[in-house]
Chains A and B, each alone.
Chain A
Amino acid sequence: MTTGSGSEGRGSVFSFNVRQIVIAGILGGIAIFLGYTRLGFIPVPNLAGNATIMHVPAILGGALEGPIVGTIVGGIFGIFSFIQAEVPFFRDPLVSILPRLVIGGVAWAVFVGLRNWSIDLASAAAGVLGSLANTVGVLTMAVLLGYLPLAALVPIVPQAIAEAIIAAVVTVVVVRGVLLYRSGRTTAPEVKSDEERRY
């Protein structure tokens, strides 16, 4: 680690390669896109106003590209929800940004831990736990900082479960799709067994 040449890129706290920059940017773009077009929200009648799938890009970034990409995508998601905060407690960056940085790391750890066992299981678990990291993190901060009373959490539980399930389903399908794409195969094999034709 050099200290004198701070502007020289080398010796950065963490370093990126081009691929990580691009994927973090594009996944961040998807997060903003989901938020801005409202496609990423499912309106539910409670105080939070809506269930969201905006954290899914952060989960995918963490699972497929590692903790740095996951953290950055989570950060973009957090900054976006901070700027567009329609609910009072998201106006505090400690609630809207800080917990979101964790999503990618959790998803990465879970995915890497289970990857050798089964890719589908690893993706589903990364989806569920990444999603819960988001919900639990945000709500813990909101309660700790006094924005929400503990009693207000009860109606949010079903929403958290729904978000986790949606995240799991989307993660599994997208990870399959991306791995398929990266394998370079463009069509399903015609002569192989049915097992492979599913994709």
Chain B
Amino acid sequence: MLELQRNVIFGQFIDTGSWIHRMDARIKLTITFVLTVASFLIDSFVGFALIFPLLVLIHLIARVPLSYVLRGSRLFLGFLAFILFFQVLFYPGEAPESSYLWRWGFLSVSTVGLYTAGILGLRVIFLYYVTTMLMLTTSLVDLTNGLELIFRPLQKLRVPVNELVLVFVIAIKFVPIFVGEVERLARAQTARGVPFDEGGALTRARRIGRLLVPIFISGFTRADLLTTAMNTRSYRGGRRRTKFRRLHATISDWLILLLVIAWVLLAWQLPDRLGA
């Protein structure tokens, strides 16, 4: 049986009312961006070890249950392990002869391959955690307002910022809906005798294909409904609209941003300095 809803936490928002939840959305988005850049810059285990306490700190302050995040990440972690396994086995780069632990044809396990896969895995988990935390701690309204304000300068270049942000928000908002829907479809088909947890990989893939077409069609159906709903309410982009809630960045918000940047610089530069 497909159990998705319990194992997918994309797009969820858990309001624990913590200090991070109340932070200015623009600052949170900027911090997420800084940490995304950090995931490219940091390329050693020491660097990731240095950045780890920052994540622990964020988690403690946000008060989101760890068990909830872990359970919601099972699918992701399982898949990641699978990918990394093949990354090690098919390591494409040059490895010195001495680093091979095992070799068979073009398949190999080398210490270089293991190291690269390890860093890659940490990077992916790091980025996954940061984006997940952003969504868990920021309501959709704040996210929309924050994105619109950050990208507002692009309006001068005649980019339809409000519309594009709305596209993203609709996309994020609909993910949990589709998750629920595909689970219901799977239940309905199971009830009619389609076994989802039997058979080889190919048979299973074919059965999942049977879920996809209804998902697309219901997507288009929902799109028509939503279009009508928005048209009847005279939606016309962000033109001349005022905000009911305005975002305020306080001094402490800016200080936190500076702290995160400093932390990232430390984790990026310190391992090199120590090594040199």
- Taking a contact as CB atoms under 8 Å apart, the answer to whether A32 and B86 are in contact is no
Write the chain A residue with the least CB distance to B238. A9
- Taking a contact as CB atoms under 8 Å apart, the answer to whether A181 and B166 are in contact is no
- Taking a contact as CB atoms under 8 Å apart, the answer to whether B124 and A84 are in contact is yes
- Which residues on B sit within 8 Å (CB–CB) of A24? 167, 170
Residue A60 is within 8 A (CB to CB) of chain B in the complex: yes
Segment at the B interface, from A12-20, A114-122, A123-131, A190-198: A12-20
- Taking a contact as CB atoms under 8 Å apart, the answer to whether A38 and B79 are in contact is yes
- Taking a contact as CB atoms under 8 Å apart, the answer to whether A83 and B127 are in contact is yes
Residue A141 is within 8 A (CB to CB) of chain B in the complex: no
Q: Which of A6, A33, A64 contacts B175 (CB 8 A)?
A: A33
Q: Is the interface on chain B under 10, 10 to 19, 20 to 34, or 35 or more residues? A: 35 or more
- Taking a contact as CB atoms under 8 Å apart, the answer to whether A25 and B170 are in contact is yes
Write the nearest CB–CB distance from A138 to chain B, whole angstroms. Answer: 16
- Which residues on A sit within 8 Å (CB–CB) of B227? 18-19, 22-23
Residue A49 is within 8 A (CB to CB) of chain B in the complex: yes
Write the nearest CB–CB distance from A38 to chain B, whole angstroms. Answer: 5
Residue B115 is within 8 A (CB to CB) of chain A in the complex: no
Q: Which of A15, A21, A26, A166 contacts B219 (CB 8 A)?
A: A26
- Taking a contact as CB atoms under 8 Å apart, the answer to whether B211 and A32 are in contact is no
- Taking a contact as CB atoms under 8 Å apart, the answer to whether A26 and B170 are in contact is yes
Residue B65 is within 8 A (CB to CB) of chain A in the complex: no
- Which residues on A sit within 8 Å (CB–CB) of B166? 21, 25
Residue B194 is within 8 A (CB to CB) of chain A in the complex: no
- Taking a contact as CB atoms under 8 Å apart, the answer to whether B171 and A37 are in contact is no
Residue A106 is within 8 A (CB to CB) of chain B in the complex: no
- Which residues on B sit within 8 Å (CB–CB) of A173? 213
Write the nearest CB–CB distance from B212 to chain A, whole angstroms. Answer: 6
Interface of A is mostly: helix
- Taking a contact as CB atoms under 8 Å apart, the answer to whether A29 and B179 are in contact is no
| Interface flags, A174-187, vs B, CB<8A=1, else 0 | 10011001100000
Looking at A21, A42, A83, the one whose CB has the most chain B CB atoms below 10 A away is: A21
- Taking a contact as CB atoms under 8 Å apart, the answer to whether A25 and B179 are in contact is no
- Which residues on B sit within 8 Å (CB–CB) of A32? 10, 171-172, 175
- Which residues on A sit within 8 Å (CB–CB) of B4? 37
Write the chain B residue with the least CB distance to A72. B167
- Taking a contact as CB atoms under 8 Å apart, the answer to whether A86 and B80 are in contact is yes
Write the chain B residue with the least CB distance to A46. B90
Residue B82 is within 8 A (CB to CB) of chain A in the complex: yes
| Interface flags, B207-223, vs A, CB<8A=1, else 0 | 01101110111011111
- Which residues on B sit within 8 Å (CB–CB) of A11? 158
| Interface flags, B52-89, vs A, CB<8A=1, else 0 | 00000000000000000000000110011011101101
Segment at the A interface, from B229-237, B247-255, B257-265, B266-274: B229-237
7 interchain residue pairs of minimum CB distance? A25-B170, A29-B174, A28-B171, A29-B171, A33-B178, A177-B217, A174-B216
Q: Interface residues, chain A, CB within 8 Å of chain B? A: 6-9, 11-16, 18-19, 21-33, 36-39, 41-43, 45-47, 49-50, 53, 56-57, 60, 64, 72, 76, 83-88, 91, 148-149, 152, 166, 170, 173-174, 177-178, 181-182
